[in-house]
Amino acid sequence: MSENNSVVLPSDTEREMLRDSTRGFLEKHWPVDQAIELAAHADNVATIWRLLAGQGFGALGSDPCEGGLREILIVLEELGRAACPAPMMGAALANLALTAVATGPSPVPAHGRRWEAGTRPGVA
């Protein structure tokens, strides 16, 4: 009996919803016309990061079913659009690295890497 280890990725519709909700969230909490003034104070950056993390953005990359590189890039694009210096890149890279360590080595060489959840060398 074989086990299905493939990951169901977010759909294009879900990605569009992520883009729209991120944009709306930032319009409310980090208006682009106030971005320079807001970014000048570390407390403001810490506050927006806490708010973003509270919405789950800080966990992107930690679970392939919840979003991977595409979803991270959508959020980073919207942060850039709003000129918001939240530390999303560092969090996302840490999540991706920790997930890679937790799931073990890929059964396919780096030049042909396969990204399927639960795959292990020698397991069918």
Domain ranges of the chain: 12-103
Rg of the chain taking only CA atoms, in angstroms: 17
| Average pLDDT of the residues in 5-11 | 73
Residue 41 in tokens? 């104070």
Q: What one-character DSSP code corresponds to residue 11?
A: P
Please give the residue that has the higher pLDDT: either 117 or 56.
Answer: 56
pLDDT tens sequence across 61-112: 888 777 788 999 999 999 999 999 999 999 999 988 888 887 766 544 444 4
pLDDT of residue 121: 45
pLDDT of residue 7: 67
For tokens 């280890």, name the residue: 5
Rounded (5°) CA angle 1-105-6: 40
pLDDT of residue 105: 60
pTM: 0.75
Residue 58, pLDDT above cutoff 50: yes
pLDDT of residue 6: 66
Please give the residue that has the higher pLDDT: either 49 or 119.
Answer: 49
